[in-house]
Amino acid sequence: MIEAIIFAITIVFPNLALMGLGFFMQRRGEASQTFIDQSSSFVFNYCLPCLLFFSVVDSDVDYGKQITLILVGILVTFVLFIGAELYAKRYVKRPADQGVFVQGIFRSNMAIIGLATVYNAYGDAGLSIGAVYMGIVTILFNILAVITLSRVSKSADDTWVSRSTMIIKKVFTNPLILALLAAFAYKALPLPPLTGVIHTTGDLLAAVALPLALICAGASIDLKSMLNASGLSMQASIGRIVVAPLVAIAIGLAFGLSGVHMGVLFLMVASPAAAASYVMAKAMGGNDVLAANILAFTTVVGMFGMAFGAAALRALGLM
């Protein structure tokens, strides 16, 4: 059990430390909102795509063996989405709150906290598996988020055709998805290995991705919003921190997942609410204050939930 606890601390503490640094910098006035916005954009558009591209291109992972993991991830996402929709329809009254509540439960921060924790746990091999998982499930996240948030729109121009166009545009202009598609194409074609200046530059950009993303996540934490969480945001946070990981473990066990595949599934699903959930809620007319509260609370508390769950799974020999 001691070894399992040490394992959990090892994979989660570096992330907490970098987020703590970001929060400290924000409190000292060294990380302004402009810095956070520009750095986050830099990470999303350049650093993370390099990280994902080279992690796939350089890996020897047999992606055919990940089909079960990906199918389980898709199933978990649908179970959480449908369950949250049914709960919201019964217990959440305002349409502007319903979509935000649902998104807060099914959509996790895979690209930053999920990938960083997987890398801490399993190194480059785990990162490659996590990158593929993230690429597929991210597409589903975007589709379901548009569906659940679109209920608040009253515009005559907002039709299923316009929503479908929005989904397609978001998917095929997402730098992370484009990087993964490019990496799969490169591996599938008889092309020479990438070496020299190109690979060195890509490695340098990739090395910046996760540390800077975690610092920005920490600098974005609003303690006032987190501590003043409403009853609804607390319910959504419990769904994200407690219910989502338990659903993932149950479905993963039902499909026979273990080892690194169970670890990747758990860490990806147990990650806090996605940072993009706030941006999308605000853009589509949802309750952005509720989205911010869910994001803040799960970002801090969810890390400890990940550590506890990882320790338990490790002690049981499941990851």
> Does the predicted model carry a pTM greater than 0.85?
no
**Which of 136, 82, 124 minimizes the C-alpha distance to 265?**
136
Q: 50 exposed, middle or buried (CB, 10 Å; 0-12, 13-18, 19+)?
A: buried
**Do 15 and 117 form a contact (C-beta atoms < 8 A)?**
yes
3-class DSSP state for residue 108? strand
Q: What DSSP string runs through 72-103?
A: HHHHHHHHHHHHHHHHHHHH---HHHHHHHHH
- Tokens standing for 212? 């800077």
d(CA 210, CA 206): 8
Does the CA dihedral 259-137-284-33 come out positive or negative?
positive
Helix (H) or strand (E) run with residue 170 in it: helix 160-172
**Which of 272, 287, 243 minimizes the C-alpha distance to 149?**
287
The answer for 318, left when phi > 0, alpha when psi is -120 to 50, beta otherwise, is alpha
Read off φ and ψ for residue 273, nearest 5 degrees. Answer: -60, 145
d(CA 248, CA 80): 9
User: pLDDT value at position 227?
Assistant: 65
Residue length of the chain: 319
**Do 250 and 83 form a contact (C-beta atoms < 8 A)?**
no
- Tokens standing for 239? 């769904």
**Which of 74, 217, 213, 46 minimizes the C-alpha distance to 135?**
74
pLDDT (tens place) for every residue of the chain, 319 residues total: 677 788 888 888 888 888 889 989 999 999 898 988 898 889 888 998 898 888 888 877 666 778 999 999 999 999 999 999 999 999 988 888 899 999 999 999 888 888 889 988 998 888 888 888 988 888 888 788 878 887 655 454 566 677 677 767 776 777 878 888 888 888 888 888 888 888 899 999 989 988 898 898 788 777 776 666 568 888 999 999 999 999 999 999 999 999 999 999 999 999 998 877 776 777 677 787 788 788 878 887 888 889 999 999 999 999 8
- Yes or no: domain 2-188+197-315 corresponds to CATH 3.40.190.10: no
User: pLDDT value at position 279?
Assistant: 67
Three-state SS letters, 278-317: HHHHHHCCCCHHHHHHHHHHHHHHHHHHHHHHHHHHHHCC
The residue ranges of every structural domain in the chain are 2-188+197-315
User: pLDDT value at position 156?
Assistant: 47
d(CA 114, CA 104): 15
Q: What DSSP string runs through 219-278?
A: HT--HHHHHT--HHHHHHHHIIIIIHHHHHHHHHHHTT--HHHHHHHHHHHSS-B-HHHH
